[in-house]
Amino acid sequence: MKTLRDKSLAFAQEIVSTRSNPICANNEDYQKDFLYRNAFGSHETAKSYWILHKNKRFGDCVALARNLLERIVNSSCGSKSPTHAVELISYELSEKIRHCKLWKPSSNVLAQLNATIKVHEKILPDFLRRLGKSTAPDWNWMKRFEEAGLPSFYRSAYFNFSTYVHAGYEVSRPEKYNQQSKTADFIALVAPVLTAANYHKVDCLNCQRGKCDLRDKSMALLHDFKARTLGK
Ligand SMILES: [Zn+2]
């Protein structure tokens, strides 16, 4: 009998194994590409999650659950409209450039860093032009959770998952470390299915008509995962 984990990964595998057209010409293409990247990343990270889980590395599972929750939020925001996706891409590019410029490395690394900045600075104006803006709109994580309709997750699960991600005083509490988290398991099951379904639905005519077998299957899986991890 298939486990919940198998059902989650199998659903996503079927969808992310085909990528229609990675070449982007318009905002709709970029939205699809953004959703694909989050779906593919969710599927890969969830596979790692379950390897750690099988080996009872629950503390490390939580660190990956944080990443998976971010992918859920990205995918949910990006699926709202092509503009949402392009705004998110432009914000992430802007942040990469900002962080790169904060780094003051040695001269042998500097050339490589400058080349990276140059590549990002060459790409960014095209996204800003698509938005008709001179700077990227701020898409910080709190705003993304709110837009995704998950503000309570920002204050609860995301906060808890972050505890052991950053090196700090918390790690010195061995009795609290490595405890299995039902919430993390729930996120690890949901992320591949939800992000794959969002990628699928963006250009599925059946989904747009409100009658799609694949969408129905995803909803049934999400309800099943919730009932069997978090309960009622
Ligand atoms: Zn569909």
Per-residue pLDDT reduced to its tens digit, 47-91: 999 999 999 999 899 999 999 999 999 999 999 999 999 999 999
Number of domains into which the chain is organized: 1
Residue 71 burial (CB count, 10 A): 23
Phi-psi region of 231 (alpha: psi -120 to 50; beta: other; left: phi over 0): left
Quick one: DSSP state of residue 203?
A: T
Q: Which domain holds residue 101?
A: 4-229
Distance 214 CA to ligand 1 centre (A): 6
Spatial distance between the Cα atoms of 96 and 188, rounded to a whole number of angstroms: 27
Q: What's the 212 CA to ligand 1 centre distance in angstroms? A: 5
Q: How far apart are CA 98 and CA 92, in angstroms?
A: 10
CA of 79 to the centre of ligand 1 (A): 13
pLDDT band at 164, cuts 50/70/90? confident
Give the tens place of pLDDT for each residue, 93-137. Answer: 999 999 999 998 888 899 999 999 999 999 999 999 999 999 999
Query: For residue 47, which amino acid is it?
Result: K
Q: What's the predicted TM-score (pTM) here?
A: 0.92
Question: What's the pLDDT at 170?
Answer: 61
Cβ neighbors of 231 (< 8 A, separation 6 or more) are none
Distance CA 135, CA 84 (A): 15
Spacing, Cα 21 to ligand 1 middle (Å): 18
Question: How many residues are there in the chain?
Answer: 232
Distance 118 CA to ligand 1 centre (A): 39
pLDDT above 70 for 169: no
